[in-house]
Chain A
């Protein structure tokens, strides 16, 4: 490019015309406004959930049974708290080992091969499956034969968590320096020992934080539980037999015209949000520690 024809630029006043300046300011204003557009709904929702939820939220609320007549005022979500913890816990116990092992295959064995690439694509497909479809799937394959149970709900949630855990774990495994594997191999370790003793421990904090985020998302899911777990009004601490969950109770009570039921829905929503945020925060702390290393 020749520079000969370009006149010396004025170093003083810029020549930016009024309309260009105006448009720049408008665009900047719009960009600031979009931030508010996202922050305001969050503030509104959190404000309402906390304000309406506090009407009923207490220790009693967490340990009292759900009133059988939904117009009856007063606390009680104990079965839902038990159900959410139990079902989410079981889903985690199924999805995390399977997902991490799957990620080990993708990153340590399959790598750039055709099968691994295909599995990666299918993992993306699976993470796009709507949660309600997962519920239908578990209904047709499990509930039709063995009936409604907390375990069926856990299966549905595990199916939703699996692709998330595979992808995040694979990302974390990829971050482990190849030098560690080579050093281990040079010392005569077999691949499986290298993976279990060297690679996985190095990637563990990242895997844990990814898994916690998946758990947080699963804990809030409603659609896959609607036709898999049934309903109970007393705590069921067994994985088998009908159960209930916070999300399912919120869904049910939100549609009821009685203020008492709606109050329980708000307090259950507060409980659920607290649970999800604690998990998210824990994931943050774990991954922050990872980042410091």
Chain B
């Protein structure tokens, strides 16, 4: 630390420096806005030819044949939705369970282990998940899928949903991998929300003779519903935008089918695979997919933040 006279300055040079620093930091803050505006403007601009050519059929047609100039994104939008839904459906119960494990069940020493496991999972790069998925999981899960298909064959709806697979690369495999990838983020938000449940409420329920599970159902869940919804949507946003892991295991076959075990394709995945070789309208159409994805994730994320933020406020206001 420097001595006092060195720190104190009354000369006008100091005022100038003060103002310069304020402006520099303001500019840095504005950089975020500038980048976002640039993303929106440049991408809309380069996607425009595709939107103009395909019109509304960009969103309603399922035909994506670059050589014939047909660009219908429906199959990719469908795939993104299906894969993200599977991921969330698998990840949310698991994440809520882990969050409860940490806050209510686990012995203190195990808590540290759980948190480390989550941090490690969050630290594994998406491409490594993809590598494992394509070389290890997909080839080995075919038998499981076949067994499930045979098992549900007589049941009306399920037999449509789980109708056999060829390579193991499918909507469902991608959904499973994504579920593992989004579990850490959902868990950490849910855990924070659970931690805000007042000790007194929980003790009160237990003192009234509730079992631990009844206490969780009666006190923790009602108190945390908003936060859990927000956490789910954050996970959904992640799942929709995830590219590389999904690209490797989804099978890259754009199709709209009820069979979750069949190959499909998603918006990020087709961008990753086709953009390198695309030109002209094809390239514009891929950027248009990016714009669509961008818009979808913004809606989901902003909604999630607002829900989490409102819950946060209520928690602080309460007690």
Contact = CB atoms under 8 A, between A and B. Distances in A.
B258 interface: no
**Majority secondary structure, B binding face:** helix
A274 to B, nearest CB: 11
Interface stretch (A13-21, A66-74, A232-240): A13-21
Nearest to A230: B276
**Majority secondary structure, A binding face:** helix
Interface stretch (A57-65, A122-130, A203-211): A122-130
Given A45-B132, A49-B132, A133 B18 contact: no
Contacts of A260: none
B298 A251 contact: no
Contact of A32 (B18, B35, B101): B101
B136 interface: yes
A293 interface: no
Given A42-B121, A227-B276, A125 B36 contact: yes
A216 B305 contact: no
Nearest to A37: B94
Contacts of B240: 130
A80 B136 CA distance: 24
A286 interface: no
Interface string B288-299: 001001100110
B241 interface: yes
Contacts of A14: 209
B289 to A, nearest CB: 9
A254 B29 contact: no
Nearest to B38: A141
Contact of B209 (A16, A139, A187, A221): A16
B32 A126 contact: yes
A189 B132 contact: no
A276 B97 contact: no
A258 interface: no
Interface string B228-245: 000000000100111110
Contact of A220 (B15, B18, B125): B125
A163 B7 CA distance: 32
25 contacts: A27-B216, A30-B97, A31-B97, A31-B104, A34-B97, A38-B121, A102-B28, A102-B32, A106-B29, A109-B26, A124-B302, A130-B240, A136-B290, A137-B38, A162-B31, A187-B7, A192-B18, A196-B21, A220-B124, A221-B126, A222-B127, A222-B243, A227-B276, A251-B247, A276-B125
Ordered nearest first, which 6 A-B pairs have the shortest CB separation? A220-B125, A130-B241, A34-B97, A128-B301, A192-B21, A101-B28
